[in-house]
Amino acid sequence: MWGIGKMALEIIRIPVLSDNYVWMAHEPVSGETMVVDPAVADAVLAEADSRGWTITQIWNTHWHPDHTGGNADIKAATGCTITGPAGEAERIPTLDRTVSEGDTVALGGLTAHVLDVPAHTAGHIAFHLPEAATAFTGDTLFAMGCGRLFEGDAAQMYAAMRKFEAMPDETAVYCAHEYTLSNGRYAVVAEPDNAALAARMVEVEAARAAGEATVPTSIGLEKATNPFLRAISVEQLAERRAAKDSFKG
């Protein structure tokens, strides 16, 4: 359970496909249940049913099929409302509402602020719920990593990192993949003198060896150990992203 005072969310991790995480967030006061980036439908519907929750909303961060593949079937089963990026509306035909930076989305009594964070895809967004100290970052900010620059550039990713950096350190970061171990292996090469990073890798390696998840992470932890969030310029981020793309470690 994450949150401040009454502004709490119960957030459930649903592992699907090879390394995706679908996040299900239940706001207990209103009884609303929201799903972020459902890659598939069956596992998500089964999880909601097992808890006696009814899915009322889906939030999409970007158009990739491993983030939207369950939209139609979940909507057919529940009648939920689907919200996603205005810049990618043509690529997500199941959307009921499109949003971009400056817009907000309500989940019960909580408010999510939409951030434009393009780079991985052209219209990628993130959802920040400051009252619950929570951010859903899709494929933009990962634990010790960032998304590949498929449809954008390093300048856009650098700008996105600044938006995450501005969040309070205690903000829990819910990203969409279990990439932490591979990200960390590159990170220690990028910053070999970072003691916090070396210590984190010991914990990550132990967690993965035990079959445990390594996310959510936090903004504070990423500020200390993420070489992309820590890049001091667009040029350095570009160099690190190119190096990570070809990294074999």
Q: Is residue 237 part of a domain?
A: no
Q: Which of 26, 37, 116, 139 is catalytic?
A: 139
**pLDDT score of 7:** 59
In 3-state terms, what secondary structure has residue 53?
A: coil
Arithmetic mean of pLDDT, 4-15: 77
| Domain-embedded: residue 192 | no
Q: Mean pLDDT, the chain, as a whole number?
A: 96
User: pLDDT per residue over 234-247, tens digit each?
Assistant: 999 999 999 999 99
Q: Give kind and range of the element (H or E) at residue 55.
A: strand 55-59
In a domain, 10, yes or no: yes
The pLDDT value recorded for residue 248 is 86
Is 50 exceeded by the pLDDT of residue 135? yes
Q: Catalytic annotation on 139?
A: yes
177: annotated active-site residue = yes
State the residue range of the domain holding 166.
2-139+149-183
What the block records as the tokens of 147 is: 């998304």
Task: Find the largest Cα–Cα distance for the chain.
Answer: 52
Q: Is 193 a catalytic residue?
A: no
* 148-203 pLDDT tens trace: 999 999 999 999 999 999 999 999 999 999 999 999 999 999 999 999 999 999 99
The active-site residue, picked from 64, 116, 124, 128, is 64
Q: What are the angstrom distances between the C-alpha of 72 and each of 79, 116, 200, 222?
A: 10, 24, 39, 34
CB 16 within 8 A of CB 40: yes
Whether residue 132 is predicted with pLDDT greater than 50 in this model: the reply is yes
Spatial CA neighbour of 214 closest among 11, 37, 19, 8 = 19
pLDDT of 56 reads 98
Whether 67 is a known active-site residue: answer yes
Whether 209 is covered by a domain: the verdict is no
62 is catalytic: yes
Domain count of the fold of the chain: 1
Given 26, 62, 124, 128, the catalytic residue: 62
The enclosing domain of 132 has a CATH number of 3.60.15.10
Query: How far, in Å, CA of 234 to CA of 184, rounded?
Result: 21
Residues 204, 226 contacting (CB under 8 angstroms): no
- Amino acid letter, 64: H
Do residues 45 and 24 make contact, with C-beta atoms less than 8 angstroms apart?
A: no
Q: Are 130 and 99 in contact (CB under 8 A)?
A: no
Q: Which pTM does this prediction carry?
A: 0.95
E strand or H helix that includes residue 241? helix 234-245
Question: For residue 130, what are its two tokens?
Answer: 């400051």
* Residue from 26, 124, 128, 177 carrying the catalytic annotation: 177
Q: Is 5 a residue whose pLDDT tops 50?
A: no
Identify the active-site residue in 37, 66, 116, 128: 66
Q: Active site residue: 67, 116, 124, 128, which one?
A: 67
**Radius of gyration of the chain, Cα coordinates, nearest whole angstrom:** 17
Pairing relationship of beta strands 2-4 and 55-59 according to DSSP bridges: unpaired
Is 245 contained in some domain?
no
User: pLDDT per residue over 13-61, tens digit each?
Assistant: 999 999 999 999 999 999 999 999 999 999 999 999 999 999 999 999 9
Closest CA to 126 of 156, 158, 100, 94: 100
Q: Is 113 a catalytic residue?
A: no
The answer to whether residue 247 sits within a structural domain is no
Catalytic residue, chosen from 26, 37, 116, 120, is: 120
Give catalytic status of residue 153 as yes or no. no
In a domain? residue 178: yes
Residue 189 lies in a domain: no
